[in-house]
Chains A and B, each alone.
Chain A
Amino acid sequence: SYELTQPSSVSVSPGQTATIACSGDVLARKYARWFQQKPGQAPVLVIYKDSERPSGIPERFSGSSSGTTVTLTISGAQVEDEADYYCYSAADNSWVFGGGTKLTVL
């Protein structure tokens, strides 16, 4: 089975840049997506196709990819960006999530 590995937590001060990496062999051949989930809410898509941003997602959210690692970057993180972030990718007739990263902004 495939695995995606991301840090369990990241902390930044407001206005700083937050970076969350996600690694896995499948990322070398499949695009990644990133979801944001706030407490008690359903996840929201913030990045798809490694680096594309859906309409309505602030420009401070960006994604990049290199080899078997994808990275979510939040430039100038805001207090409202505090949430859990999950990377996600297709595999062989299945789909896999990273374990999630709790982003703290304070």
Chain B
Amino acid sequence: QVQLVESGGGLVKPGGSLRLSCAASGFSFSDYYMKWIRQAPGKGLEWVAYISTSGSTIFYADSVKGRFSISRDYARNSLYLQMNSLRAEDTAVYYCVRGRQYGDYEKEDYWGQGTLVTVSS
């Protein structure tokens, strides 16, 4: 069955760095684009980053551009999010999400359970 398992969250000081991982299994990893989506405590959902099936196309939300870097490893079936210069407002549960493009629409059908990142001194 499809599984997305995030790891790497934790407590970090402002200005610090953290690397999140998402281990994918149960499907052909290279057939799906991947995203990171986050949710601050008690708040709504926010898209963070996108990486295409080939890894050649990457987009970031303005709120993280220049600080976060998304990547994927096909040999390990894993997705990553390198987070630098962390701020208190980056505190959130980070979800790994798979999606597929079908012509003019997209379908994102599986989410991981999330990993909590807390930025605090």
Q: Which residues of A contact B (CB under 8 A)?
A: 1, 31, 33, 35, 37, 42-45, 48-49, 54, 86, 88, 90, 93-100
DSSP majority for the B interface? strand
Candidates A33, A94, A97; contact of B44 at CB < 8 Å: A97
Candidates B59, B104, B106; contact of A93 at CB < 8 Å: B59
Whether A42 pairs with B107 at a CB distance below 8 angstroms is no
**Cα-based distance from A94 to B59 in the complex (angstroms):** 7
Candidates B35, B50, B108, B111; contact of A33 at CB < 8 Å: B108
Whether B62 pairs with A35 at a CB distance below 8 angstroms is no
CB distance from B42 to the nearest CB of A (A): 11
CB distance from B90 to the nearest CB of A (A): 17
Residues of B within 8 A of A45 (CB): 107-109
CB distance from B43 to the nearest CB of A (A): 8
- 21 of the cross-chain contacts (CB-CB < 8 Å) are A1-B62, A31-B105, A31-B106, A37-B45, A42-B111, A42-B114, A43-B45, A44-B111, A48-B105, A48-B106, A49-B105, A54-B107, A86-B44, A86-B45, A94-B47, A95-B47, A95-B50, A97-B45, A97-B46, A98-B44, A99-B44
Across the two chains, which residue of chain A brings its CB closest to B102? A49
Residues of B within 8 A of A33 (CB): 106-108
DSSP majority for the A interface? strand
Whether A54 pairs with B109 at a CB distance below 8 angstroms is yes
**Cα-based distance from A1 to B59 in the complex (angstroms):** 14
B53 on interface, CB distance cutoff 8 Å: no
**Cα-based distance from A90 to B50 in the complex (angstroms):** 11
Residues of A within 8 A of B109 (CB): 45, 48, 54
| A-facing residues in B58-93 (Cβ within 8 Å) | 59, 61-62
Whether B59 pairs with A49 at a CB distance below 8 angstroms is no
**Cα-based distance from A31 to B109 in the complex (angstroms):** 15
B112 on interface, CB distance cutoff 8 Å: yes
Whether A90 pairs with B106 at a CB distance below 8 angstroms is yes
